[in-house]
Amino acid sequence: MSYEHVIVEADGGSRGNPGPAGYGAVVFAADHVAVLAERRESLGIATNNVAEYRGLIAGLEAAAELGARTVDVRMDSKLVVEQMSGRWKVKHAAMIPLADRARRLVAGFDRVGFTWIPRAQNSHADRLANEAMDDATLVDEVRAAREAGHETPLRDTVGRAPAGTSVGTVHGESEADAAASSAAVAEPDAPVYHAAAAETSHDRPALQASGDRGPAAEPSAHGAEQNGPSWIDEVREARVDPANTEAASSSPGWTGAIGRPTRLLLLRHGQTELSVQRRYSGRGNPPLTALGREQAARAAKMIAAKGDIAAVLSSPLGRARETAEAAGAALNVPVRTHDGLIETDFGAWEGLTFLEAAQRDPELHARWLGDPSVAAPGGESFDEVRERVEAVRRDLVALYPGRNVLVVSHVTPIKTLLQLALGVGPSLLYRLHLDLASLSIAEFYPDGGSSVRLVNDTSYLS
């Protein structure tokens, strides 16, 4: 569903100016009653003005995802309103790239108006910004404990969002043509096309393992990763020469992002029996098959050969944990679980094929294929998944600034992280295919920029 006209209210704050900072943004329907989306994020140490601009950017991005064409922006920052209206010049160096980014977003709408409002009228966004700044305190405590050698399980601390808080909820557009693809949405675990696997499919992805390339590799997969480059070449260059500030602060080209990103290596788990049968596999806990364990081992060898991984995070489900533990052992890095990385709860459709679910609930299933706010019977909607995955992303960027983090999860959480990095609407969930044991890479920059470096690589399974 799209909304032609929306109202965006945004705010940002800093406890110290500069100090621990955060922003909040809310998108209302034109009646200024229905809440369509919320955003909040802790920014680390920043100024009030930086936080305010980041709140504006987040609100405009949410409005764009909703398909809005006209936007009324309401903020209690006189500076941001006057600068975006063109009446005041942007002079501060830290503000210039943020203002440019906001203007690029504005150019994508038919009309955007800016209005100053008193703080009392901006209470919703103000509350979200304060919640984000509260999150910063928790992150600092967890980071300090970790640096002091006190291991704090992420599943018990960082993954918690305040009760009742919605982070990144979006009621997105309907994709009528999505129903034509039986494996496009958080698909019933699709097989990797590997010479050792017998299954076949009508929905063969463009990027796949070696089933189409001749004989399978030796079981040890020795050498599959030996000749490949590092994750991104500039990472090792910067590590060798700490004075190489140009490499250390390199950005993804034309995006204008500034600083060293937190790079999330998104690894999907290996094959299970439900994968072979192409059944919805959410909160159920099938183990890896023999092929799935081989896929996990090959991925682990490739990742360990490249190295430079600060942490390994996994969904708590067994198929992901087993895949993650193979990588953790190869890297000599402990595996931590994060409940936010768990797969979608498919409710009554768990264990069913696509056709069986469509026959059981034909009208609901058809709606579910195009509307992320619709949940399976007794299950979870993709909007709800996005809320918790947004919290995971926020946690990892705060805890591992400028580091590489291996995230082992499932189809929906990985697609959602790629969606967040691309800044696109929910249609990506219905159109992107991810193979088993495939690797994707998303980067999140300290200034709020993001990029996607890799999608659905399975070359190491050859």
Q: Which residues are annotated as catalytic?
A: 269, 343
Specify whether the CB–CB gap between 161 and 387 falls below 8 A. yes
* Strands of the 70-75 sheet, one edge to the other: 35-46, 19-29, 5-14, 70-75, 111-116
The CA dihedral of 67, 160, 343, 252, to the nearest 10 degrees, is: 60
Q: Which residues of 373-382 are buried (b: 16+ CB within 10 A; e: fewer)?
A: bbbbeebbbb
Task: Give SS3 for 244.
Answer: coil
Task: Quickly tell me which residue has 């060798």 as its tokens.
Answer: 240
Residue 387 exposure: Cα atoms within 13 Å on the Cβ side: 20
Listed residue (427, 406, 400) closest to 175, CA to CA: 427
Closest by CA to 396, choosing from 228, 264, 269, is: 264
> What are the start-end ranges of the H helices in 268-353?
273-277, 290-306, 318-331
Contact 126, 24 (CB under 8 A): yes
The alpha carbon of 72 is separated from its chain's Cα centroid by a whole number of angstroms, namely 27
Length of the chain: 462
